[in-house]
Amino acid sequence: MKDRPANAFTLVELLVVIGIIAILAGLLLPVIGKAKEAGRGTACLSNLRQIGIGLQLYVQDNGNRFPYMNDKVPPPGTNTPPATNPPPDIVLASSVGSKQIWRCPSDDRQLFATTGNSYSWNVFLNGQSADNMSILGLPFDPHQVPLLFDKESFHRARGPKKEVNYLYADGHIQKLLEVEGTK
């Protein structure tokens, strides 16, 4: 009878190693998914920052007033009448540049494909002065007023209250909507 070589693995040892690798991979996959979403979220924040700069250029060129814009509603299956004001990607086209800037990298609901935009415009600001903003007659500071934000909770993988990115009127960007005094 031949002795088995001392440097060979048995089937049981090989299966144990494969099992350990599978467990480690299972533990790492959620972490990798969150890291990917963090990268997409950062790209989304960059898009909003660039749109914010384009919006500042528009406001400076138009008497310090915000544009009149409405979101385009998704096609079929909606009873919403078409908006009378053009969508943000049309109004700000000359100030922003590339049409792809309006696409959130995490847009898994294909809103960019159906509406041309992954971000919503705060319609309460239509035509208002950038110096004296008010919503429903109440005055607000620019750091309190969101201008643009994700249409849906695209960044769900980041956790609760971090699903949506916001661009505020003073130019800062946040991953969640916080109204001062609500904490």
Looking at the structure of the chain, the number of domains it has is 1
- For residue 109, being part of any structural domain is answered with yes
- For residue 80, being part of any structural domain is answered with yes
- For residue 118, being part of any structural domain is answered with yes
Q: Using one digit for the tens of pLDDT, what is the confidence trace for 63-110?
A: 999 999 888 776 655 445 555 678 888 888 888 888 899 999 988 888
- For residue 119, being part of any structural domain is answered with yes
- For residue 5, being part of any structural domain is answered with no
Could you tell me what percent of the chain has a pLDDT over 90?
28
- For residue 41, being part of any structural domain is answered with yes
DSSP of 58-122: HHHHTTTB-----PPPPSSS--PPPPSSPPHHHHTHHHH--GGGG--TT-TT-HHHHHS-SEEE-
Containing domain of residue 29, as a range?
Answer: 11-174
Q: Would you say residue 182 has pLDDT above 80? A: no
